[in-house]
Structure 1
């Protein structure tokens, strides 16, 4: 093992370190290695290397153990090559090959950030080009090269689960999602995902350690220089920082200044000097044409931006058809009675809460938690009611076992559901399948019992079908995918729990048999077939029964914001612009359903939500236009 590392010529000053790295200066490290021979005699070796960043080398040498001098020397030479020469290929590509095949522009971005920007950059590709993939590549590369260990990802609340699944599915890295009640995670875990708001609320805990890599998604949210979140992010101790945003400029040039100053303070001089040099107007909304080229040149030092037309990737179109059908008489009676049951369930819940609060006024947290449980239960039941009679009966029987006091009401509903045959949606599915009988199709639903029922119907009437469910093991899933890709199976019926990792570009027809109330889930479903390397236009069919909450959500909410035709990734940015309390669209719809006294009330509430989303989308589009005008 190395006996000692001679660091007398190195001053451990972070400023001098940053200067040496940025200017490519080199310093010498002489290490002494002492080993014991087989005869018990001690042998000493000295080895001198030149590095641009000797501080990191000394740390690695002093914390590693080597059994022989050749191994010690080889390790130093590898470290020297890593720092004194640029890497020409990413070793992470082989590590993720079975899960992901990045595009050339993504690989080039990762190499540029590591080689030229020291792992500190703004990733500003246009929406839908895979900034998450680029950040993941950089992260994985630095991990494999032993450059980083602790990683913090900050994202809007609506995107936390997506980040967690992307990192696990594509890069094999397991992250924990932190919240206010899991402070221990923030202190100890080395792979953490948190919301933007939590970063500010729990800054004291996060700031108690140094992070090797911090990744911030939708980083334009930190454009306000004086906001608490922006101040916390700037002061957080970190070795590498990646800021992801398709719109580093939202309203003013100073938005860009604030983001850039997080990566490299002083690069654009002081804010006052920046405005004086680059802003044409007093509100900093127009850039001086004569200075635009100079600004873009400076930004190349810390920003990577790829536009859609630069990729050379053909983007196919997405067509959406929403089909509705009147319910049968038995089905309408069941839907009306089920809606009454949910509203009565809500009323009983709030009466109970009021009684508890009267007994103990300090139970506010319990009330909030209890309300969230109610909304979740109501959404789960409503989704079953909207699916198939079999799914409705299954959920009601479970409810009956948990809440015997509701036995009379649930028994009546079970009896009514059993009188409904296949239901309108099943007939609608059959009708549309006959229109596209020459094509394979992917069908999404929310319940396993529904998936199996659809599979049985397809096998009887249309062709070979398989289910793709969350409780299947990997071998079973792989076989389903193989059968579908080779044409042995014509249809796959999947639940959302199984959707991650289901990539079927050979298919161009998809059904939302059960409509999900979470727009991100809808986008993820469509993304199973409408993705890079899809060479055909894609058609999505939405099925629902007329005059139901699914019908209202589909026509009032989703169609108004044009959800289904948004470019890949755009929904994320639209949701991120909403206030954090409104980002969980599914929960918001559930709350609307429970507090509405009539269908008219429900429609009005959904209209308000649709208006908020429309404003968010317009703001996002304006920011994209402003960003393009300045950067491109």
Structure 2
């Protein structure tokens, strides 16, 4: 033990978290140490104080109490104190720093600090720490990081869209897949990848109020993503603190009615959101309430996703207006837009004869492919058949003063239908909430049946309870009655019977109704029932839809165009005709076939080719299957739970229950609830049991485990025993692991070019470098547990020699780092310059390439090169191996 003197700097061997202490009193057998970082003092017996002297060596970095840094060039002693001479970092001046003037914050590596303090962990914790670093580096480099953990089947069209959009610089796109193809899933995957790779940090989601809870559930269940609901009450409460209420959370979801009111528009604009997601975007029209508020958000937020299954539900002009929200510079003239659409047939014909890069080039250069993604059922396949059942019923004259439903033949038919189809579930959709309430009352009075109802006058909680009541197999209602809002957003793929009590005049609304059942996840044929009164509007509409455009049994991509062309004749027929005029039916049928042929060979064909490129989609799927590595993940997490005091119980081959215990190494671990959770790493099991957690390298709990191991000092120093008879007893080795990282803005995703870099060195007891001769695994296989007391004694005995070896070989570490930096700079420059040039070339042909995209690539390269000038290097882990044969 060195002699204690006032002003010396010492570390506590038992409480390294106290930081760097200073000797404030030496009194006979006692020594007092003040730890300024905690403003706490400790009194120790001077003969066996658990203290370690901090002594910086030449070449090491020091920090002055005034927070400036210097590099040590010479060390001297004066009256028991160390005097450091060195070069100051900020101005290159020569400085002299007595050890008493060092900062109490230890700005040296945790591993080195613990070595100096004489601390050591178990060997298995050291191995777990190194595993965490290896897995983290591998995950950073994965091209599908953020897509690994989606609880979804690996569908090519969804994965292609998600990967393509997530990789864009400031993506501004319209996700317009047909009803039931998974736009919400695509948006969730895009969101997850961009959040986990750092491209976005603050997200605003705008949805119809009726879908808000569904979005919350979907994001949590499928992506383990939590959104924070902000309504009027919450915002007013948060605003009482005086700060912008939206800055209190990173991921915010609001209803479109909240946006329309505009009361908090200024706060939203100043909340620095960098990603905006708007669902059911077809509702946004320039003449609609609050449109200017949406327009302002789209203008102020760099990245925008608009979602709609019916982009042209409000006509070509409405579709143009939504594209204008995404890129007002590109979409600024409706006539030019329409003219451009007319040229796509020729391009589509060319595309049919191309493949590979030539096809990709054509699709990139023309059309709205960079702005809009629209997949169609017809070309994806795998959907069940639709069957139409029409039920013509006689007209009736309601008695005055009596409820209309007492004698309506459709109500009588409905009661018989529910008896005949029992125990199957039925979804009924009609236009208004009033109809829903009347029909529910009719079933209650006439048959004693309790129907679940769903309409716009209900609160979100009431709607959710109604959906749960309907879905329950044991005591749920056999029927859910929805007003028109029930045809948007809510999914009922477990139902095969659909009753349309009336029919909308808009074909897109008809398709949305059917799409509540006909969607991914539906495993049975869908039966569509239309009970109608003779000579009613429905009698004419059912013929117009079925015989004119086959809209019930086939998805109808041209329904809106037909409605725009024939709506005057249709309205006239509804007002004055008892049956659909033959002339209107034939004209509709002929025009339907003509329009179908045009979209198949024109714009829609180009969009379909662009929205899913099979070869690229297959590569994404292969990466996910390879990089998921469920076996390694399970082994890693099982070791982590064991080391950190998490209880586990095997439920079956693929499921495990984990729960915090009373002996946790840390108070709490993010992603692990107090009540515990059932987990699986198997995708098929996760899809079968949707109430359990699907663990992946993307999952918050796994990410928290890796962060805990890589940022804290667990396992940073260990001593292990070798039993090698070929080596002399007492021979020892020092193994060092360095880690280099970039301190860069998260949005530039620097890890893609410079993921966490690892560098290993191995020295024998003479200081000879054996790094290239003895691999890590060879030592690990021979290493075994050493008790803590012996380990600490060895560390104290060897720490001075170990420090000198570390310092002696520092130039080799710095040389490795320089090479790593040079390689990263070259790769970043080559790849990003190539990406920039591609966008510049594309822009000459396709004005959908925005200047902002090109500028974003330039800015990313600039920030990357700047960050690469000053990477952080730390001694991540130290292992001492002592031979005891």
- TM-score, structure 1 as length reference: 0.49
Structure with greater strand percent: 2
Structure with the greater alpha carbon radius of gyration = 2
The higher-RCO structure (CA 8 Å, 6+ apart) is: 2
Structure with greater helix percent: 1
- TM-score, structure 2 as length reference: 0.37
